[in-house]
Amino acid sequence: MKTINLEAGMPNSQEAMTTLNNRIYAERASGSKCVKIIHGYGSTGKGGAIKKACRQKLSEYRRRGIIKDMCAGEDLTPFSEEGRRFAEKFPEIRRDSDWGMGNEGVTIVLFK
């Protein structure tokens, strides 16, 4: 599974969304089936601006059919219905270092 690291270089939220947009379209065009997005959790302990903007943008992409589905890192566990559903569709997720960790700083995206 490929990774899109939105935290690299400590961008602001707008720069991170530009990176997300470019990389999502590139990964989709290349035929990727699944990507992990590292957006971080934010230093406030309440979730950061990049995380919030990223998840909003991904929800928009899902509504528009650009991505098939997304799973928040906190749900990426065998104890979550969503996590199990994702692992069923893309079994390699079970080998990812964030599987079962409840990492709120990542989101997994499935393409069509």
Q: pLDDT per position in the chain (112 positions), as tens?
A: 999 999 998 899 999 999 999 999 999 999 999 999 999 986 655 558 999 999 999 999 999 999 999 999 999 999 999 999 999 999 999 999 999 999 999 999 999 8
* Prediction pTM value: 0.91
pLDDT of residue 45: 55
Q: Which domains does the chain have, with CATH numbers?
A: 2-110 (3.30.1370.110)
- Which residues share a beta bridge with 24? none
DSSP 8-class letter at 74: G
Contact 93, 34 (CB under 8 A): yes
For residue 78, CA distances in Å to 39, 57, 58, 70 come to 22, 26, 23, 16
pLDDT of residue 62: 96
pLDDT of residue 44: 57
DSSP 8-class letter at 9: T
- Per DSSP, the three-state class of 36 is strand
Residue 54 exposed, middle or buried by CB count within 10 Å (0-12, 13-18, 19+): buried
Residues 107, 84: Cα–Cα separation, whole Å: 15
Residues 84, 26: Cα–Cα separation, whole Å: 27
